[in-house]
Amino acid sequence: MTNIRQVYNWINGEYVPASNGETFDVTTPISQELIAEVSESTQEDADRAVAAAREAFDNGPWGKLTVKERSDKLRRMAEIIIERAEEIGTLDAMDVGKPIRNTVQGGEVDRSANNISFFADYAEMMHGEAFPMGKDYINYTTYDPVGVSVLITPWNIPFMLTTWKLGPALAAGNTVVIKPPEVTPLSVALLGEIAKEAGIPDGVVNIVHGKGGVVGNALTSHEAVDLVSFTGSTKTGTIIQQSAANTQKKVSVELGGKAADIIFSDADLKKAVPGAIRAAYTNTGQVCLAGSRLLVQEDILDAFLEAFVAEAKAFKVGDPNDVDTDMGPIVSEDQFQKVSSYIDWAKDNGLEILAGGKRPDNLPEEISEGYYLEPTIILAPDPNSKINQEEIFGPVVSVIPFQTEEEAIKIVNNSIYGLDGVIWTENLAKAHRVAHEIKAGTIWINDWFVRDLRVPFGGAKQSGNGREGGRFSMEFFTEAKNICIRIKD
Ligand code: NAD
């Protein structure tokens, strides 16, 4: 029997229940067991959190610290995240269903700590500019914090994605209100106490839990909020931009994707097959960057599929707490139903299921109620079909055969999304050529999901606007101000 955690809001340096005392239940996808009761916040809670962040920004000590003093506290925060890696990783394994080996051991928790320490270091390197106007005037530019920043993140990589926003927001001197994903709020709930332990003043980091349409909307439309940084679905991103427009907040949205993984006939299949497997099934395919459309050049289709299907079938699906597990469950019943509906659609439309398409047989009794699905491969030659156009966000990959480079580019760009793309070829000139033609924010050649925190990350088309990473994040979380001085007599 799992302990049921009580998860509270974090406002002005302390845990507080929702103002009306309401909670909502969180279950684990591993077994459907209840694991937490979480504060279900209202407009009143959003108001309290924003007021705390406002006061801390306008009158608190945070903005008066030197950059070095702020950065030192953030580096301490990163150290505490590493010290608590086991706890954070275990919570994400239980809450999201991530294999423990992807969270704790060298995985997402390390990256989360790095998200904080990287921006602490980065802030210390930032500088303004000067624009002299002959001998008459001089302009100089400063980069000031924007103010109260609302950070909203999705359920698939909750802790890592929240720290990806929190690092630059705090390093730039802002105060924040975090709205964690209601499906997987447990690890993010710890960020307030971690900040406090690192010496970050009360009111700088606040967290309110609850439904996006209620407390999320209360935050994005709030008059005292200056900025919204959102990662989530394209549908919600649209609503948020509309809601934030009433007060002209700064808004950045990182949204859905439907990446194509292109396997040219001159690819090295020893690299391409495991690479495409990783792109398709990491985090049970619940990754915005997932290579969910697999374009394979026709002359290697049989050889590629033989190896790809064999690797997918060899996958160990099961309890994420087991270090041998390759793939855990889908996050929730709703998501399981959504993903299954695409498989049903494929079957109803006569598409060939090359692997998976069902729950694994012989799940151990204790996890038999969990939302497990085998890695699924569907031969879906029509690029316009629903399965190739909509974001499925589960362990389902559709295979689209193609003949020429031009045809591949056309298929890849036939999407409302443009988050990323992956190219497998040993021909460097072709790799560059195709990379330039794909309309997406990130292209990987002969690998997938390799991240350098300095580079721009974000989506083209309906995958979002704005970029995160290095100077791109710092520009978003600061307000450039020009000061013009008359120096002539
Ligand atoms: P979602 O849009 O349903 O929810 C994301 C967050 O927004 C949650 O915290 C939710 O509570 C909140 N929210 C919902 N309605 C709101 C509203 N009206 N106002 C304010 N907040 C609201 O997304 P999800 O289902 O949690 O996540 C999956 C989606 O996220 C996928 O589309 C995936 O591609 C995308 N994603 C994108 C990236 C990226 O970097 N581009 C990364 C991870 C996930």
The rounded percent of the chain whose pLDDT value lies above 70 is: 99
DSSP secondary structure code for residue 128 in this structure = -
pLDDT for res 486: 98
pLDDT for res 2: 66
pLDDT tops 60 at residue 465: yes
And the tokens for 238?
A: 């649209």
Q: pLDDT class for 246, splitting at 50, 70, 90?
A: very high
pLDDT for res 107: 86
pLDDT digits (tens, 9 = 90+) for 191-236: 999 999 999 999 999 999 999 999 999 999 999 999 999 999 999 9
CA of 305 to the centre of ligand 1 (A): 33
220 lines ligand 1 (CB under 6 A): yes
Ligand 1 pocket test, candidate residues 42, 230, 288, 389, most atoms within 8 A of CB: 288
> Quick one: average pLDDT of 457-470?
97
pTM of the predicted protein model: 0.97
217 lines ligand 1 (CB under 6 A): yes
DSSP track, 216-265 = IHHHHT-TT--EEEEES-HHHHHHHHHHHGGGT-EEEEE-----EEEE-T
Residue nearest ligand 1's atom 30 by CA: 232
262, 427 contact by CB (below 8 A): no
233 lines ligand 1 (CB under 6 A): yes
> Quick one: average pLDDT of 280-294?
97
Question: For residue 270, which phi and psi values (nearest 5 degrees)?
Answer: -65, -30
Cα 117 to chain centroid distance, Å, stands at 18
CA of 258 to the centre of ligand 1 (A): 15
393 lines ligand 1 (CB under 6 A): yes
> Quick one: average pLDDT of 373-399?
98
465 lines ligand 1 (CB under 6 A): no
> Quick one: average pLDDT of 428-433?
98
Residue nearest ligand 1's atom 40 by CA: 254
Closest CA to 318 of 273, 277, 361, 286: 361
Lowest mean pLDDT among 281-285, 320-324, 355-359: 320-324
pLDDT for res 106: 63
Residues whose CB is less than 8 angstroms from the CB of residue 72 and which lie 6 or more positions away in sequence, other chains included: 120
CA of 254 to the centre of ligand 1 (A): 9
Lowest mean pLDDT among 95-104, 277-286, 302-311, 393-402: 95-104
Closest CA to 92 of 194, 211, 185: 185
pLDDT tops 70 at residue 42: yes
Question: For residue 222, which phi and psi values (nearest 5 degrees)?
Answer: -70, 135
pLDDT digits (tens, 9 = 90+) for 144-183: 999 999 999 999 999 999 999 999 999 999 999 999 999 9
232 lines ligand 1 (CB under 6 A): yes
DSSP track, 285-303 = G--TT---EEEEEGGGHHH
Determine which one of 254, 311, 391, 468 is catalytic. 254
d(CA 193, CA 197): 6
419 lines ligand 1 (CB under 6 A): yes
Residue nearest ligand 1's atom 6 by CA: 154
pLDDT for res 369: 93
pLDDT for res 254: 98
CA of 142 to the centre of ligand 1 (A): 33
> Quick one: average pLDDT of 351-364?
95
And the tokens for 372?
A: 């497990």
CA of 375 to the centre of ligand 1 (A): 24
pLDDT for res 104: 75
Q: pLDDT class for 418, splitting at 50, 70, 90?
A: very high
Tell me which H or E stretch contains 161. helix 158-171
9, 23 contact by CB (below 8 A): no
pLDDT digits (tens, 9 = 90+) for 293-337: 999 999 999 999 999 999 999 999 999 999 899 999 999 999 999
pLDDT digits (tens, 9 = 90+) for 15-33: 999 999 999 999 999 999 9
| Pair type for strands 396-402 and 293-297 | parallel
**Within 13 A of 50's CA, how many CA atoms are on the CB side?**
23
> Quick one: average pLDDT of 80-103?
93
Mean per-residue pLDDT over the chain, rounded: 97
Residue nearest ligand 1's atom 35 by CA: 232
pLDDT for res 459: 98
- Verify whether residue 254 is a known catalytic residue: yes
Q: Edge-to-edge strand order for the sheet containing 396-402?
A: 352-355, 376-379, 396-402, 293-297, 260-263, 420-424, 442-445
pLDDT for res 3: 85
pLDDT for res 222: 98
The rounded percent of the chain whose pLDDT value lies above 90 is: 97
Q: pLDDT class for 105, splitting at 50, 70, 90?
A: low
